[in-house]
């Protein structure tokens, strides 16, 4: 495994202590980690899923809008935060790797270092409240 920037290592460490589901990707979009609270929503333990490229994680969860229409990978909050280097919030539907569909709220933001170096992005998410 290649050496990661310290900010990404620290973000992964912080995520491992949080109770809110958290998903961390590197600057190239590779999924580096999701924490234990994310596992029930995503339908698989991270130890079993492992690192995966953006082309995989952005489609494997079958993302949709709240009404079930498919979402192109480029419109997912984490992809937008990574590419446009800005925070994003959106309600989306996903189907976990366990086959169970869920509606989730996602807030994603870029990881930037001092000197304006782009290091990746983070998504925090939770089950959406019934309206």
Instruction: Answer yes or no: is 61 within a domain.
Output: yes
Per-residue model confidence (pLDDT) at position 72 = 95
* 29 found inside a domain: yes
The residue whose two tokens read 């939770």 is 126
Q: How confident is the model over 74-122, as pLDDT tens digits? A: 999 999 999 999 999 999 999 999 999 999 999 999 999 988 899 999 9
For residue 47, give its domain range: 6-127
What SS3 state is found at 37?
helix
Asked whether residue 131 carries a pLDDT value surpassing 60, the answer given is no
pLDDT for residue 116: 81
User: Averaged over 38-56, what is the pLDDT?
Assistant: 94
Q: Cβ(104)–Cβ(40) under 8 Å? A: no
* DSSP label at residue 68: S
Does a structural domain hold residue 64? Answer: yes
Q: Which of 37, 94, 34, 100 is nearest to 66 (CA)?
A: 94
Q: Residue 1: inside a domain, yes or no?
A: no
Q: Is residue 76 part of a domain?
A: yes
Portion of the chain with pLDDT greater than 70, in percent: 98
The CATH number of whichever domain residue 83 belongs to comes to 3.30.450.20
For residue 111, how many other CB atoms are within 10 A of its CB?
22
Q: Per the structure, how many domains does the chain have?
A: 1
């Amino acid at each position: 495994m290649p050496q990661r920037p310290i900010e990404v290592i620290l973000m992964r460490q912080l995520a491992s202590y949080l109770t809110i589901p958290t998903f961390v990707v590197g600057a190239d979009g590779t999924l580096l980690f999701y924490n234990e609270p994310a596992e029930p929503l995503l339908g698989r333990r991270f130890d079993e899923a492992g690192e995966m490229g953006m082309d995989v994680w952005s489609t494997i969860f079958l993302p949709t809008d709240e009404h079930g229409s498919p979402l192109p990978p480029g419109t997912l909050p984490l992809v937008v935060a990574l590419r446009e280097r800005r925070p994003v919030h959106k309600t989306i539907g996903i189907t976990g790797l366990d086959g169970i569909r869920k509606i989730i709220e996602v807030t994603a933001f870029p990881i930037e270092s001092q000197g304006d170096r782009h290091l990746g992005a983070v998504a925090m998410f939770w089950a959406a409240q019934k309206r």
